[in-house]
Amino acid sequence: MGISSEELQAYSERIGMILSRPHLQLQAIDVGFFKRESKLNPALFFDLLFYCSTLKEELSLSQMVVYLKERHHVGIRKQSLNSRFTEKGVEFVKVVLQELLEDKFRKLYPSGLLHTFGRVRIKDSTHFKVASNLSEEFSPCGGNPGRFKAGVSIQYEYDLKSGKILDLSIHSASRNDRTDAKETSGEVEENDLIIRDLGYFGVPVLKSFADKKAFFVSRLDSTINVYDEKDSEMSFHELYNRMQEWGLATIEIPVFIGRDNKLPLRMIASLVPQDVYEKRLREREKANRSRGYTMNEETRLKYRFNLFITNATEEQLPMDKIYPVYKLRWQIELMFKHWKSIFGINKTGYKMKKARLLCLLYIKLLLISINLQLIYKVQQLWRFKVQKRIERGEKVKIPVLSLCKALKTLRYFSNKLYNGLKAGKEEREKTIGEILECLSENHFIERRKNRMGFIELIELFVCK
């Protein structure tokens, strides 16, 4: 079932409770951020951060002091304000964010979406530079200062079926995706379907997923050896010749990966056009030259294919559904673009101490989370409205909200939303009602002729 408008109001009431002054003060006391009365109490500190998060450009300490004076009639020196940005302050904001993420979500789309799996976990990361004075705390990607001297990465994972955010954390840019995959592998549960890009690829991690009876779809790392059912290393030269001879564009082969305790998988290989193959070779050879690597012929041949591997059965994911299900992952890359273009999460040019940077980043993630969760709740409400018609056998197209359109609108309403959620029941219901009405008009993804977009992908995986 979807949700009702009453449940949407109940959800907004819960957010309002979390953001209320008494609750924020209790959370601040619990983490040790608030110990005695001061001009800048926890609710006021949070209000200042939230205001900063609604702006695309950063505010300096001096500008923050002006805001507190003009909006709240609180006079404070910028040195005193800066001293409030501490590890305890960071912990305070993180606790509030985590509480918002603990809400239980129902299904976003009809229950038949990838019905043989529990959660569909989609994960990726985004990186951006921060002020160079933080290079010791936030080292750049690969430890290479050529791109930038200091950087952070944000790991983001969500369940496609419910919209629930499973991971939203900030790290040094030098902590790569493969390390993240190892450190978070214990969070995967039985019957999860995991969809990630090659950055997270690692045979031990994939084996750990299989051991937990979880499933994955991944591209194949070109450096990994693949073995056939006779335990012989697969020849991609022979595979290419065979497909050319038989006139096959795509083929599925049972394979094994890993040196010891080999992992049985299905490999789906599709030939790519000659110009794509040549472009891939040029890019790989350029990267290899900069690192002093050479590429053998067998590895070169792998670039003639789109190679995907999965431990899901044919019944769970037929061969022709492997590539489309992997394409669902691209939505998260669009999400990161929205975070940067709409919320300016990567605009961190001012020199500042680590605690202040983290407070500002986490509060932006909190604003983004509130917006995303409201969008998902509205999406659930729309699914609820068409569910009965679908159950009656009517051919009803699934209305899907455009994240880009909805996020732009909600950012415009940021301050109104924040103040409305904290207000009394009547004002909160009025605010949510206005936003719901606004999102219900001209905020849906438009279908395009002869092109498989997100709506078509979703419908492709709904069991009729």
User: Can you give the pLDDT of all 464 residues of the chain as single tens digits?
Assistant: 444 567 777 888 888 899 999 999 999 999 999 888 888 899 999 999 999 988 877 889 999 999 999 999 999 999 999 999 999 999 999 999 988 887 766 666 666 778 899 999 999 999 999 888 888 889 887 644 455 788 999 999 999 888 888 999 999 999 999 999 999 999 999 999 999 998 998 999 999 999 999 999 999 988 888 998 888 988 999 999 999 999 999 999 999 998 777 899 999 999 999 999 999 888 888 877 777 777 778 788 888 999 999 999 999 999 999 998 998 888 888 889 989 888 888 887 678 899 999 999 999 999 998 888 888 888 777 777 777 776 777 777 767 788 889 899 998 888 888 888 888 888 888 888 888 888 888 888 776 666 656 655 666 555 54
* Pairing state between β 250-257 and 263-271: antiparallel
In a domain, 141, yes or no: no
In a domain, 440, yes or no: yes
Q: Are residues 300 and 386 in the same domain?
A: no
Which of 312, 332, 360 corresponds to the end of one domain? 312
Cα–Cα distance for residue pair 454/401, rounded to 1 Å = 11
Q: C-alpha distances in angstroms, 4 versus 11, 69, 201, 382, 447?
A: 11, 42, 40, 9, 26
Q: Are residues 260 and 305 in the same domain?
A: yes
Which of 312, 340, 374 corresponds to the end of one domain? 312
In a domain, 148, yes or no: no
Cα–Cα distance for residue pair 197/124, rounded to 1 Å = 7
Output the pLDDT for position 188.
95
Which residue has 């056939």 as its token pair? Answer: 228
Cα–Cα distance for residue pair 40/48, rounded to 1 Å = 10
In a domain, 368, yes or no: yes
Cα–Cα distance for residue pair 227/217, rounded to 1 Å = 18
Q: For residue 228, give both structure tokens.
A: 């056939």
- Confirm if 222 and 356 have CB atoms less than 8 A apart: no
Output the pLDDT for position 143.
47
Q: C-alpha distances in angstroms, 76 versus 42, 72, 81?
A: 15, 11, 7
Cα–Cα distance for residue pair 464/455, rounded to 1 Å = 15
Cα–Cα distance for residue pair 226/355, rounded to 1 Å = 46
In a domain, 178, yes or no: no
Cα–Cα distance for residue pair 42/186, rounded to 1 Å = 34
Backbone angles phi, psi at 208, to 5 degrees: -65, -35
Cα–Cα distance for residue pair 158/447, rounded to 1 Å = 24
Nearest CA to 153 out of 163, 138, 134 is that of 138
Q: How confident is the model over 415-451, as pLDDT tens digits?
A: 888 888 888 888 888 888 888 888 888 888 776 666 6
| Number of independent structural domains in the chain | 2
In a domain, 356, yes or no: yes
Which of 254, 287, 312 corresponds to the end of one domain? 312
Q: Are residues 306 and 359 in the same domain?
A: no
3-state SS string for the chain: CCCCHHHHHHHHHHHHHHCCHHHHHHHHHHHCCCCCCCCCCHHHHHHHHHHHHCCCCCCCHHHHHHHHHHHHCCCCCHHHHHHCCCHHHHHHHHHHHHHHHCCCCCCCCCCCECCCCCCEEEEEEEEEECCHHHCCCCCCHHHCCCCCCCEEEEEEEEECCCCCEEEEEEEECCCCHHHHHHHHHHHCCCCCEEECCHHHCCHHHHHHHHHCCCEEEEECCCCCCEECCCCCECCHHHHHHHHHHHCCCEEEEEEEECCCCCEEEEEEEEECCHHHHHHHHHHHHHHHHHHCCCCCHHHHHHCCEEEEEECCCCCCCCHHHHHHHHHCCHHHHHHHHHHHHHHCCCCCCCCCCHHHHHHHHHHHHHHHHHHHHHHHHHHHHHHHHHHHHHHCCCCCCCCCECHHHHHHHHHHCHHHHHHHHHCCHHHHHHHHHHHHHHHCCCCECCCCCCCCCHHHHHHHCECC
Q: C-alpha distances in angstroms, 348 versus 211, 264, 344?
A: 41, 45, 9
The whole-model pTM stands at 0.84
Cα–Cα distance for residue pair 213/191, rounded to 1 Å = 6
Nearest CA to 30 out of 42, 45, 39 is that of 42
In a domain, 30, yes or no: yes
Nearest CA to 195 out of 331, 306, 337 is that of 331
In a domain, 165, yes or no: no
Domain limits at 278?
217-312
Output the pLDDT for position 1.
40
Nearest CA to 304 out of 220, 388, 369, 375 is that of 220
Q: Are residues 308 and 353 in the same domain?
A: no
Beta bridge partners of 170: 154
